[in-house]
Structure 1
Amino acid sequence: MSASPDTATFNGEDLNFDDFQLEDFDTPTIAEPLVMPERDLSFFKKIPVTVTLEVASKEIALGDLMKAGEGSVIELDKLNGEPLDVKVNGSLMGHAEVVVVNDKYGLRLIDVLDSALAGVTQ
């Protein structure tokens, strides 16, 4: 089997872009925005979450922690009187101070971060 001498080859000079019909591509069409019906989100208000009041923390070497014993003091990273971190399921929600209500600890919110409420519908 031998190659046919009549094999056509592509020649870029023979390509004429004026022959193409490109009118349809000049005006982009914009789809209508999809309107979603408002949903009742009251269901989410019943989902339990864990609220934690974090006093302070400190990163120390394991060797130093192993030396600690009864009566040892580990200095933490917050000052006395400084607002404490309020976390919801581990994410920072805001800051609070400790209060006592009916012989139980409680917290009084000082501020709530805007990012903690982003996307929440009332």
Structure 2
Amino acid sequence: MSTSTDIPAFNTDELDFDDFQFDESTNENLDMSHSIPERDLSFFKNIPVTVTLEVASKDIALGDLMKAGEGSVIELDKLNGEPLDVKVNGSLMGHAEVVVVNEKYGLRLIDVVDSALDSAIQ
């Protein structure tokens, strides 16, 4: 046998926001017209991220993919010579081309998507 305590249900009809009184200092704190001082963002420079160079992609039905085997060709959505997508943690940062530096692959940024920089700064 279990014992339960009766907890009264919360009734939203009992709320009356007209009863709340705000003093002037509360309104001053909500004023966003003044400039906010810049923050030191150097902390974020040491956070690791994953940079991915995506050649191309293709949406394909799982059944069609299951039929693929050695030697199968799946046509992708980019043309030869078209810039490749650079993604940071899965989000598009910009476009690049592949280069070779000291016998390793690298990328040369062609353009950077403005929204990627804007969201990183804010």
Q: TM-score, structure 2 length as denominator?
A: 0.68
| 1:67 matched residue in structure 2 | 67
What is the identity, as a one-letter code, of the residue corresponding to 1:55?
Answer: V
Which has the larger Rg?
Answer: 1
The verdict on how the C-alpha distance between 1:62 and 1:71 changes in structure 2, with shifts beyond 3 A counting, is: same
What is the identity, as a one-letter code, of the residue corresponding to 1:56?
Answer: A
The verdict on how the C-alpha distance between 1:109 and 1:76 changes in structure 2, with shifts beyond 3 A counting, is: same
Secondary structure in structure 2 of the residue aligned to 1:86: strand
| 2:7 matched residue in structure 1 | none
String of CA shifts for 1:63-112, please: whole Å, max 9, x gaps: 11111101111110000000000000000000000001111110000000
| 1:97 matched residue in structure 2 | 97
Aligned-residue Cα RMSD (Å) equals 1.8
Secondary structure in structure 1 of the residue aligned to 2:80: coil
| 1:115 matched residue in structure 2 | 115
Query: Which is richer in helix?
Result: 2
Secondary structure in structure 2 of the residue aligned to 1:118: helix
1:16-27 residue pairs with structure 2 within 5 A?
none
Q: Partners in 1 of 2:85 and 2:66 — Cα distance?
A: 27
What is the identity, as a one-letter code, of the residue corresponding to 2:64?
Answer: D
| 1:50 matched residue in structure 2 | 50
Quote the offset at 1:37 in angstroms: 3.9
- Aligned residues: percent identity? 84
**What stretches of structure 2 of length at least 5 have no aligned partner?**
1-26
Moved over 6 A (4+): none
The verdict on how the C-alpha distance between 1:96 and 1:66 changes in structure 2, with shifts beyond 3 A counting, is: same
Q: Partners in 2 of 1:85 and 1:118 — Cα distance?
A: 18
Secondary structure in structure 2 of the residue aligned to 1:115: helix
What is the identity, as a one-letter code, of the residue corresponding to 1:41?
Answer: L
| 2:14 matched residue in structure 1 | none
The verdict on how the C-alpha distance between 1:76 and 1:120 changes in structure 2, with shifts beyond 3 A counting, is: closer
Q: Partners in 1 of 2:65 and 2:119 — Cα distance?
A: 41
